[in-house]
Amino acid sequence: MRKLFGTDGIRGVANVHPVTSEMVFQLGRATGYVFQQQHRQTVLVGKDTRISGDMLESALIAGMCSMGTNVSRAGVIPTPVLAYLCRTLSCQAGVMISASHNPMEDNGIKFFSDEGTKLPDAVEEEIERVIFSGEHNEIHPTGAEIGRVVEKHNAVDRYVQFAKRTLPEGVNLKGLTVVVDCANGSTYHVSPRVLAELGAEVVTINAEPDGTNINQNCGSTHPETIQHAVLTHLADVGIAHDGDGDRLIMVDERGRLVDGDYIMAIAGIEMLRAGRLPNNLVVASVTSNMGLDLALKPYGGVVRRTAVGDRYVWEEMVRSGATLGGEQSGHIIMREFTTTGDGLITALQVLAVMIARAQPLSELARCYQPLAQYALNLPVREKADFQRIPSIQRAIEHVEDRLGGRGRVLVRYSGTEPKIRILLEGEDESELRSLGDRIGDAFRSELGATQLQAA
């Protein structure tokens, strides 16, 4: 069992274990030790706008420099900018200090390779092993062997030019009014600039970070803010980021939400039409609605699902050669351009479809119709292998038979709580409720769940 790393690096309340300056200093030392063994001599470090970012950045850099590792400090940049710079600059690795869409009190640290991808589990496990084994504790370089820190002043400029080039040649955004919600996060000085330089009339909101207002009633986790702004400004489209810019939720000109599943359907159909979707495949996590499968099917597209987490979506994209993948939350990976979720690049590609089809976003979004859902979160006494419990399996198989090809069942344990999560999709919500409760009763009987909670 890992003690520090989760599916997306290390994350928690800032200044509470494990996200303390003391632990992050030790993380920096262990990281420097492991990276040097892998000949990673220079590490790029970025952060979002949280007040705790300065504290953690200082501790991390001090730890790495104390092991002789050089650091290139990029300051406040979105996560996708750091990933882009990792693969285009002479840095051997990258570290992003951010808790993404989480509240201001949280912070986290995630690692990237020189290819702009998340570090493999094995490397993170090795860093964690070194921290707790202490095998590096006696290593203290002196003199010229201590690591240096260099400021990377033009980091955003490089990315801005790259982002603009992802639009098809000759295409610009003139005539479009775009509202962009920066969530008071690290996109505040990037997304509005790119959109404006491409010719859009840009209305920028929540782009005044003060260290404490990141994701506060704004951004992709609070889309009602941008929905209201789009209607107020009579805009053509709204773009809402999360705190570090790797997610995107859009809003059409009528103020209606267009989440990650809609975006994958719109982009996937366009790529299928253009012959740009290898194996006609889109990769999505298990939480994506079955409506995505139904939207792509008439065009020959298929959906392959992974465990929850962008890391697993990316790994399956690499294995299968897919160029489009993502999650309903708006973490979309367009492998033609990026190696991680990139809210701005994704938005630009959707805007390009709007322009090419001469259609508003509301019309494009009609290609996708989500199925009805019924979700349960059940507390359990233990996380036993339910696939080996006959009564639970019979209940699940019964529901699958009833739904046939008209829906699906997803049963999985929470990664952070003693709960089983049950999700049903289909055409009839009342039927889903009855069928879902049947599975819930089986879990309650066998694993001691004390109550049912409708999600």
The active-site residue out of 100, 186, 220, 285 is: 100
Nearest to 247 by CA among 158, 363, 355, 329: 329
Give CA–CA dist 164/345, Å, rounded.
9
Strand partners, 12: 107
410/286 Cα distance (integer angstroms)? 7
Q: Is 100 a catalytic residue?
A: yes
**Tokens 């938005």 label which residue?**
347
DSSP strand pairing (408-413 vs 372-379): unpaired
Instruction: Residue 328: name the closest of 345, 310, 312, 351 by CA.
Output: 310
SS3 assignment, position 209: coil
How far apart, in whole angstroms, are the C-alpha atoms of residue 92 and residue 116? Answer: 10
Look at strands 177-181 and 93-97 and give their pairing: unpaired
Range list of H helices, 144-290: 155-165, 191-197, 224-232, 260-273
DSSP labels for 98-165? Answer: --TTS-TTEEEEEEEETTSSBPPHHHHHHHHHHHHH-TTTT----GGGS--EEE-TTHHHHHHHHHHH
Q: CA dist 209 to 48, 259, 392, Å?
A: 10, 25, 49
Cis omega (within 30 of 0) for bond into 223 = no
Residues designated as active site: 100
